[in-house]
């Protein structure tokens, strides 16, 4: 069971979605975001010869292309202990209120509220 101490049930769902996407695609990272209207977007790491995106960048791109102007929450499931500078910047671009980094087992490693 995923430990979502300090998170609401909607944020717990984002962890579940990001974990499932990561596992399904056997990707390095999975991410899920929720926009200001409650819509969710899920993505994994993109690694193509001509395009490289982190999972969070891909999820934010999907949200932005659907006209999201802000994110209530973002979750990244990864083995990394912190977001990259590029991921922090993309979270800032959409004024993300809660950013969660979760381990592959779904346990939050960090929760940042803005």
Contact between 66 and 36 (Cβ < 8 Å): no
Helices (H) and strands (E) in the chain, counts: 3, 7
Model pLDDT, residue 7: 87
| pLDDT tens digits, 6-52 | 789 999 999 999 999 999 999 999 999 999 999 999 999 999 999 99
The pTM (predicted TM-score) of the whole model is 0.92
Cβ 110 vs Cβ 82: under 8 Å: yes
pLDDT in tens, 50-86: 999 999 999 999 999 999 999 999 999 999 999 999 9
Q: Using N-to-C axis directions, what is the helix angle for 55-65 and 9-25, rounded to 10°?
A: 110
Q: Could you give all domains of the chain from N- to C-terminal order, each with its CATH number?
A: 9-113 (3.40.140.10)
**Cβ–Cβ under 8 Å, residues 79 and 102:** no
Q: How confident is the model at residue 1 (pLDDT cuts 50, 70, 90)?
A: very low
What is the Cα–Cα distance from 71 to 91, expressed in whole angstroms?
Answer: 8
Q: Look at the alpha carbons of 54, 72, 75, 10 in this order and tell me if their dihedral is positive or negative.
A: negative
């Amino acid at each position: 069971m995923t430990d979502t101490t300090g998170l609401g049930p909607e944020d717990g769902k984002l962890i579940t979605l990001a974990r499932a996407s990561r596992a399904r695609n056997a990707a390095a990272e999975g991410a899920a975001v929720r926009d200001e209207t409650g819509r969710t977007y899920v993505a994994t790491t993109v690694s193509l010869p001509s395009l490289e995106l982190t999972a969070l960048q891909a999820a934010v791109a999907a949200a932005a292309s659907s006209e999201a102007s802000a994110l209530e929450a973002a979750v990244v499931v990864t083995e990394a202990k912190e977001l990259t500078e590029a991921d922090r910047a993309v979270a800032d671009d959409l004024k993300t209120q809660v950013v969660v980094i979760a381990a592959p087992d779904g346990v939050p490693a960090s929760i940042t509220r803005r």
